[in-house]
Structure 1
Amino acid sequence: MKALLLALGVALAAPGVALGAPAATPEHESNTQVPAGQLYYQPGPAPDRIVLSPAADAASGFAVSWRTDDSVSAPLLELAPLGDSPAFAASRRITAQTLPLASETGSAHFHHARVDGLAPGSAWLYRVQGNGRWSSWNRVVTAGGVDEPLTLLYFGDTQNKNLSHVTRVVRQAMRQAPQARLALFAGDLVSGGDGQDDIEWGEWHAAASPLLEEVVTAPAAGNHEYADLHEDTPQETKVLGSHWSRAFALPDNGDAAVPHTSYWFDHQGVRVAVIDGTSALEHDTGAQQARWLDAVLAANTRPWSIVMVHQPLYALRAGRDNAALIEHLGPVLQRHKVDLVLQGHDHAYGRRLLAGAGSSVLVSSVAGPKQYRLSGQAKATMAPTGEDTQFFQVLRLAADGLDYQSFTASGALYDAFRIQRQADGSKQLVEQEAGRIAPRNCDHRAATAKGRTDRCWE
Structure 2
Amino acid sequence: MTSPARTSPVPRALLAAALLVGATAVAVPGQAVAATPTFDRIVLSPTATPATSAIVTWRTATAAASPGVELQPADGGPVTTVTATPTGQAGGGHYHRADLDALTPDTAYRYRIGDGTEWSDWIDFRTAGAAGDPFTFLYLGDIQNDITEGAAPLVRAAQADASDAELTVHAGDLINNADADDEWAEWFAAVDVAHTSTTHQIATPGNHEYDGWNLSDHWTRQFPGAGNGPDDDDLDGTAWYTDYQGVRFVSLNSNYTNAPWFDVVDWLEDQETWLDGVLADNPNRWTVVTFHQPVISNSEGRTGALVRAAWLDVLEDHDVDLVLQGHDHSYGRGNLTANRTDDPAVTTGPVYVVSVAGPKMYTPSTTDWRLAGAEVRTQLGDTQTYQVVDVTADTLTYRAKTQDGTVVDAFTVHRGADGKRVVEN
| Match of residue 408 from structure 1 | 402
| Match of residue 14 from structure 2 | none
Please give the alpha-carbon distance, in whole angstroms, between the structure 1 residues aligned to 2:90 and 2:333: 41
Alignment pair present for 1:361 and 2:361: no
| Match of residue 320 from structure 1 | 302
Please give the alpha-carbon distance, in whole angstroms, between the structure 2 residues aligned to 1:52 and 1:90: 21
| Equivalent of 2:227 in 252, 255, 273 | 252
| Equivalent of 1:422 in 404, 416, 424 | 416
| Match of residue 252 from structure 2 | 275
Aligned AA (1:76): G
Q: How large is the Cα RMSD of the aligned pairs?
A: 2.1
Structure 1 gaps, min length 5: 1-35, 229-237, 433-458
Write out aligned runs for 1:9-408 (5 A).
41-43=33-35, 46-83=38-75, 91-103=79-91, 107-130=92-115, 132-192=117-177, 197-209=180-192, 210-228=194-212, 238-257=213-232, 258-279=235-256, 282=259, 283-284=264-265, 285-357=267-339, 358-377=348-367, 381-408=375-402
Aligned AA (2:204): A
Please give the alpha-carbon distance, in whole angstroms, between the structure 1 residues aligned to 2:294 and 2:31: 36
Cα 1:190–1:312, aligned 2, differ >3 Å: closer, same or farther?
A: same
Deviation at 1:73, TM superposition (A): 4.8
Please give the alpha-carbon distance, in whole angstroms, between the structure 2 residues aligned to 1:203 and 1:420: 38
Cα 1:50–1:344, aligned 2, differ >3 Å: closer, same or farther?
A: same
Cα 1:270–1:191, aligned 2, differ >3 Å: closer, same or farther?
A: same
Superposed structure 1 runs of 4+ greater than 3 Å apart: 36-40, 279-282, 378-381
Deviation at 1:211, TM superposition (A): 1.5
Question: More deviation in 127-136 or 381-390?
Answer: 127-136
8 Å CA contact 2:138, 2:388 repeated in 1: yes
Instruction: Count how many residue pairs are aligned between Structure 1 and Structure 2.
Output: 378
| Match of residue 451 from structure 1 | none
Please give the alpha-carbon distance, in whole angstroms, between the structure 2 residues aligned to 1:326 and 1:378: 11
Please give the alpha-carbon distance, in whole angstroms, between the structure 1 residues aligned to 2:67 and 2:158: 32
Q: Rg bigger for which structure?
A: 1
Aligned AA (1:93): T
Structure 2 gaps, min length 5: 1-27, 340-347
Deviations along 1:129-164, one digit per CA (max 9) or x if unpaired, are 246332221110000100101210000011112222
Please give the alpha-carbon distance, in whole angstroms, between the structure 2 residues aligned to 1:96 and 1:163: 31
SS of the equivalent of 2:160 reads helix
Deviations along 1:7-46, one digit per CA (max 9) or x if unpaired, are xxxxxxxxxxxxxxxxxxxxxxxxxxxxx99956213671
8 Å CA contact 2:249, 2:289 repeated in 1: yes
Deviation at 1:383, TM superposition (A): 2.3
Identity %: 38
Aligned AA (1:387): G
| TM-score in terms of structure 2 length | 0.84
Please give the alpha-carbon distance, in whole angstroms, between the structure 2 residues aligned to 1:202 and 1:348: 25
Cα 1:255–1:40, aligned 2, differ >3 Å: closer, same or farther?
A: closer
8 Å CA contact 1:396, 1:404 repeated in 2: yes
8 Å CA contact 1:47, 1:133 repeated in 2: no
Please give the alpha-carbon distance, in whole angstroms, between the structure 2 residues aligned to 1:305 and 1:376: 26
| Match of residue 15 from structure 1 | none
Deviation at 1:376, TM superposition (A): 4.6
Deviation at 1:98, TM superposition (A): 0.6
Deviation at 1:90, TM superposition (A): 5.8
